[in-house]
Amino acid sequence: MQIDLKGRTALVTGSSAGIGTAIATALARAGARVIVNGRDETRARETAAHITELTGNHHVHAIAADVATAQGADVITAAESEVDILVNNAGVFAPTPVFEVSDGEWRRYFEVNVLSGIRLARHYVPRMTAKGWGRVVFISSDSAVLPPTEMVHYGMTKTAQLAVSRGMAQAVAGTGVTVNSVLAGPTLTPGVEQFITSMIGEDVPFDEAERRFITEERPTSLIRRLIRPEEIANLVLYLSSDHSSATTGGALRVDGGVIPTLIP
């Protein structure tokens, strides 16, 4: 399957690290004009430059903005009034006992993980439908289906993304625009590495910490390891292409088999 995204513009939120960087790189490698986004301008620019170096695509740019705020969303939409591909990847996670999560934290998680994508889709999707083509992808999680006890507030936002993306897909039926969610499983990113290290212990070599985390905390994993960011990016690349025109309103799994059900 040859995926050619030349002539398409893609915005990937939260793409100055981790899964977002891998997605932005895959889209750039396929020829898209890519907007890298992060809150820190220096880091976003450095990531964009690194992607250009890796891919040879000189149409990779950075916009520093906090998409969890209305002001941040306005910065992005003012700089890029239209995009063809919107990947809502920005997100936060951290373990907190559910009865200790404050009102403010519940709101913050919703604003970062859910409302950021809603705001951008509200701006960009009508413009996509006017052109008759567009792709929107929400990066959700296996936690949407299996809420982790240590991060119920995070799981709540990932479940909300599934409802939002399905509803948006229904709202743009027949327009040439697709909206999907990707259920990403536990993935080796700097944030997850720090999370696992804090759980297992800093004195444990990370290879062993990874093995123990999967065995003890995610025992249903069928690949018995952390997913690599590029493996998430491969699915997002497909969903961003013409080849995925009949795939919409879905929750597609790249979870390493963690979810022990046939259908999410």
Point out the residues that are catalytic: 154
Please choose, from the candidates 59, 110, 114, 111, the residue with its C-alpha nearest in 3D space to the C-alpha of residue 83.
Answer: 59
251 beta partners: 181
CA distance 180 to 178: 7
**Mutual orientation of helices 70-79 and 116-131 as an angle, nearest 10°?**
30
CA distance 228 to 25: 14
Question: What's the length of the chain?
Answer: 264
CA distance 248 to 168: 10
